[in-house]
Amino acid sequence: MQSARLLIDGAWISGEGAALDVRDKFTGHVIGTVAGASEAQVHAAVAAARRSFLAHPLDGQRRYQLLARTAALLEARRDEFAALITAEGGLPITDATNEVVRTAQTILVSAEEGKRLVGEVVPIESAPGQSHRMAYTIRVPRGVVCGISSFNSPLNMVVHKVAPALASGNTVVMKPPDAAPLSATRFFELLLEAGFPPGHLNLVHGPGATLGPWLVANPDIAFFTFTGSTGVGQWLHAHVGLRPVALELGSIAATIVCEDADLDRAAVRSAASGFRRAGQMCTSTQRLFVHDAVLEPFTEKLLTAVRALKVGDPRDPKTDVGPMISEAEAARAEVWVREAVSAGARLLAGGRRDGSVFHPTVLAGVDATQKVVCEEIFAPVLSLIPFSDLDAAIDAANATRFGLAVGLFTNDLSRALRATRRLHFGVVHLNESSSSRVDLIPFSGVKQSGLGREGPKYAMQEMTEERLVTISLS
């Protein structure tokens, strides 16, 4: 049994709020507890971060050294962290191991980008009457960065908030997901072991609906970085005032397969995108648009790829699709699929639930008004949608309130590049599925999928202020 305690000003302490159980997502057994923070403890964490920001600034080289040391400590504990992620997050052990490897890279990229965080020379001397002056900009850390993350990537998503914040000279107050807080807590232990000033690192636990308002009400938080639902993101944006935020929100991701695409590649990539991590990624392909001319052969290739997926115990190295985050979420997905089938959709694969495990599901003949395609399902459910005209398919892909990521498979370069202009998404992948994220890329959505950017270099620009400096030489 593990305990996720609070970290405030370098001290691990018990929460004064209600404790929550952390369950193994496959067995349902309690594997740990979360100590909920009180309002006073939340404000104490912010105060500690603010004090440390003012009293213990770290230069760029020192920040690099500490982050590099953290990455090395994490790599040395790869198996430990992978097992923890599998237990609390339900990720198959191969995915969990990959997450640890990716997380170490996220830390190292942040460390390197911290050495390249610069402004620019401004040609003020070229303005009339200003030949005696020079100007340039510098990047200055904002202060206390508050990170709030989701369960579907319980370690790497936390690090995407924490590592860029530290690399750019800020201090941190982090609230990890209630459903999967253990790996984040263990990671903060590594940060302390690496040698960061204790007050730079603060970790609070508790229900978002309770802690969120306390965090937002605290004026000493200078920047919020949030990953979660669009509804919560909208609330956060409405209540932080003029303080900047980065929001990674909901999505109904699409992938488009044209008639000239490499169907074998598209089928395998689409199956992985729809069902990896049990479909619980904001970029998971939910709507799969396929040209009429190749619909039949592509569907067979897709179903072959789906049948090859091993479903079940995430601790089995051969498992591709493990449990969802809870049995309740799996039951919700099951209801949505049944509603679609009752309304005329055809079930081509899956549709079966074993506790928290929902088997990879492929639907055809869906209606645009059904939940499985017009709301974010966040489950291993993929709907095939035929099209005969690419422009119409692009219009249909765009026809949601979301716009995070999209994939397009075609061998026509001109068509592909024209489509990138029309697809209203923050990320467009050509000859890849919608869920082809690499940690160092700029990652952001449009419309109700969020604002601001992730990816270490780009997050660090969000987490710093650009300050103009002028010098008179006369």
Q: Which of 146, 259, 282, 376 is labelled catalytic?
A: 282
* Amino acid 474: pLDDT: 87
Tokens of 232: 């919560």
Provide the whole-model pTM. 0.97
140: alpha, beta or left, given left = phi > 0 and alpha = psi -120 to 50? beta
Residue 161 CA to chain centroid, in angstroms?
A: 10
DSSP 37: P
| Residue from 406, 409, 388 nearest 397 by CA | 406
> Do residues 150 and 232 touch, judged by C-beta distance below 8 A?
no
> Do residues 26 and 313 touch, judged by C-beta distance below 8 A?
yes
Summarize pLDDT for 261-309 with one digit per residue, the tens: 999 999 999 999 999 999 999 999 999 999 999 999 999 999 999 999 9
Side chain identity at 434, as an amino acid letter?
Answer: S
**Angle, CA 194 vertex, CA 188 and CA 55 arms, to 5°:** 85
Q: Is 258 a catalytic residue?
A: no
Residue with tokens 């936390």: 158
DSSP 38: P
* Amino acid 453: pLDDT: 96
d(CA 402, CA 316): 35
Summarize pLDDT for 394-452 with one digit per residue, the tens: 999 999 999 999 999 999 999 999 999 999 999 999 999 999 889 999 999 999 999 99
Fold classified for 254-438: Aldehyde Dehydrogenase; Chain A, domain 2 (3.40.309)
- Domain residue ranges of the chain, discontinuous segments joined by +: 2-249+448-472, 254-438
* Amino acid 255: pLDDT: 98
* Superfamily the domain 2-249+448-472 falls into: Aldehyde Dehydrogenase; Chain A, domain 1 (3.40.605.10)
Summarize pLDDT for 177-196 with one digit per residue, the tens: 999 999 999 999 999 999 99
d(CA 306, CA 179): 28
Q: Which residues pair with 469 in a beta bridge?
A: 136
Q: Which of 99, 248, 329, 334 is labelled catalytic?
A: 248
**Ranges of the chain whose pLDDT falls below 50:** none
Q: Is 282 a catalytic residue?
A: yes
**Read out DSSP for 211-250?**
HHHHHHH-TTEEEEEEES-HHHHHHHHHHSTTS-EEEE--
